[in-house]
């Protein structure tokens, strides 16, 4: 976690004008990451549904109401708001000449919009037409660890179970978990509003709406469709169960991987140890394995519990556990890294 390396800074010889639409948890995190990584921009111009002053990261920003004429003169606009806002303002951003980096689901499956995690498929930025999409946070965390292995051994099938933090549902989800904990300690009734059921002392295998044709949730189908697009692997077989757990921040995932070629745990550790954005934490005898507590507020995805799949007779299967901060790795950090790569590749 820290500033850009010198090789990333070398092409950033000018100051870029950056806008932000949305001032929630992800938007605030984007501003924090821009500062931490010394992205060459002045004070970010923030937009939202109404004009007001807002304190973000200890600094006061004058927030303007977002509209069709808001983006003139900007180079990059980060979107951390709702899908309908992104859809409504897309043409205005593109017409202004700015690059739009959107964290919503609005454009993820649009064939004319690259869906990017820079460590996975930065080359897709080269064909952008003014809009770049951030993947779903669970997909981003998964592919940070899976893509290096796929490049080496060609992934064939993936079965995943996710353990997703309350804050993945935004501030209302985190607040509800914390309020339930406080209410329980006082012997008061627990309020259930943000989730389908009580989350404290529980887990909920239900995130987003159900697709009634196959009874997967939309969150689970996002992982399938986004992984296929980003890995350029339309034949990838992927099945997932997404579960909300009573954790404040950082998502975890249990991954069962099948490859076209043989792969050993030792090979996987070696590959991942060289992968940008991944930290191997795999010393189980001494309590070394990925945990959401350790991934919180960290840039890297933690990968461990790497072992051969003993249900197979060949050596083409692995089991792995990963944890990553969904607000950083799965959203804000990824958006800022996209901006960095746009600059590095001379695309803005």
* Per-residue pLDDT at 118: 98
The answer to whether the beta carbons of residues 174 and 152 sit under 8 Å apart is no
> With the C-alpha atoms ordered 96, 101, 106, 111, is the resulting torsion angle positive or negative?
positive
* Per-residue pLDDT at 170: 87
Q: Which helix (H) or strand (E) holds 47?
A: strand 45-48
Give CA–CA dist 100/52, Å, rounded: 23
Query: What is the tens place of the pLDDT at every residue in 233-246?
Result: 999 999 999 999 99
Query: What is the tens place of the pLDDT at every residue in 312-345?
Result: 999 999 999 999 999 999 999 999 999 999 999 9
119 with 168, same domain: the answer is no
Active-site amino acid positions: 137, 251
207 with 96, same domain: the answer is no
SS (H, E, C) 101-156: EECCCCCCCCCCCCECCHHHHHHHHHHCCCEEECCCHHHHHHHHHHHHHHHHHCEE
186 with 316, same domain: the answer is yes
3-state helix, strand, coil in the chain (%, to 5): 35, 25, 40
150 with 206, same domain: the answer is yes
Strand partners, 19: 45, 77
The answer to the question of residue 1 being in a domain is: no
State the pTM of this model.
0.94
- Report the greatest alpha carbon distance in the chain: 63
Give CA–CA dist 297/29, Å, rounded: 10
146 with 261, same domain: the answer is yes
Q: What CATH number does the domain containing 95 carry?
A: 3.40.50.720
Is the confidence at residue 259, as pLDDT, over 60? yes
Q: What CATH number does the domain containing 231 carry?
A: 3.30.360.10
The answer to the question of residue 96 being in a domain is: yes
If DSSP codes are grouped into helix, strand and coil, which group holds residue 35? Answer: helix
The answer to the question of residue 252 being in a domain is: yes
109 with 144, same domain: the answer is no
The answer to the question of residue 338 being in a domain is: yes
Strand partners, 54: 61
DSSP string, 165-206: -GGGG-HHHHHHHHHHHHHHHHTPPPP--SSSS--TT--BS-
Counted domains in the chain: 2
Domain with 82 in it: 6-135+331-344
Query: What is the tens place of the pLDDT at every residue in 36-88?
Result: 999 999 999 999 999 999 999 899 999 999 999 999 999 999 999 999 999 99
279 with 154, same domain: the answer is yes
Task: Report helix angle 218-230 to 137-153, nearest 10.
Answer: 40
310 with 177, same domain: the answer is yes
- What is the percentage of the chain residues whose pLDDT exceeds 70? 96
14 with 107, same domain: the answer is yes
Give CA–CA dist 342/330, Å, rounded: 18
The answer to the question of residue 31 being in a domain is: yes
206 with 339, same domain: the answer is no
């Amino acid at each position: 976690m820290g500033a850009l390396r010198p090789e990333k800074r070398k092409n950033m010889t000018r100051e870029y004008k950056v806008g932000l639409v949305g001032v929630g948890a992800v938007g605030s995190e984007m501003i924090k990451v821009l500062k931490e990584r010394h992205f060459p921009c002045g004070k970010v111009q923030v937009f939202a549904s109404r004009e007001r002053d807002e304190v973000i990261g200890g600094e006061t920003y004058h927030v303007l109401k977002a509209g069709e004429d808001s983006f003139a003169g900007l180079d990059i606009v980060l979107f951390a708001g709702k899908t309908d806002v992104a859809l409504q303002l897309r043409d205005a951003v593109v017409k202004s000449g700015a690059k739009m980096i959107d964290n919503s689901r609005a454009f993820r499956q649009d064939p004319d919009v690259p869906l990017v995690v820079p460590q996975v498929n930065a080359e897709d930025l080269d064909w952008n037409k003014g809009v770049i999409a951030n993947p779903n946070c669970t997909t981003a965390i998964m592919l940070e660890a899976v893509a290096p292995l796929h490049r080496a051994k060609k992934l064939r099938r993936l079965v995943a179970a996710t353990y997703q933090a309350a804050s993945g549902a935004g501030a209302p989800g985190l607040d509800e978990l914390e309020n339930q904990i406080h209410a329980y300690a006082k012997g008061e009734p627990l309020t259930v509003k943000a989730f389908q059921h009580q989350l404290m002392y529980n887990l909920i295998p239900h995130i987003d709406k159900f697709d009634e044709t196959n009874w997967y949730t939309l969150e689970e189908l996002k992982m399938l469709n986004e992984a296929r697009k980003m890995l350029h692997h339309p034949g990838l077989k992927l099945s997932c169960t997404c579960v909300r757990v009573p954790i404040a921040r950082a998502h975890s995932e249990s991954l069962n991987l099948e490859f076209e070629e043989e792969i050993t745990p030792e090979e996987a550790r070696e590959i991942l140890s060289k992968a940008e954005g991944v930290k191997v934490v795999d010393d189980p005898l001494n309590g070394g394995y990925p945990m959401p507590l350790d991934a919180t507020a960290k840039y890297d995805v933690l990968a461990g519990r790497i072992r051969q799949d003993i249900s197979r007779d060949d050596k083409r299967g692995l089991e792995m556990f990963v944890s990553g901060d969904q607000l950083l790795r799965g959203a804000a950090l990824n958006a800022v890294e996209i901006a960095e790569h746009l600059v590095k590749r001379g695309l803005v």
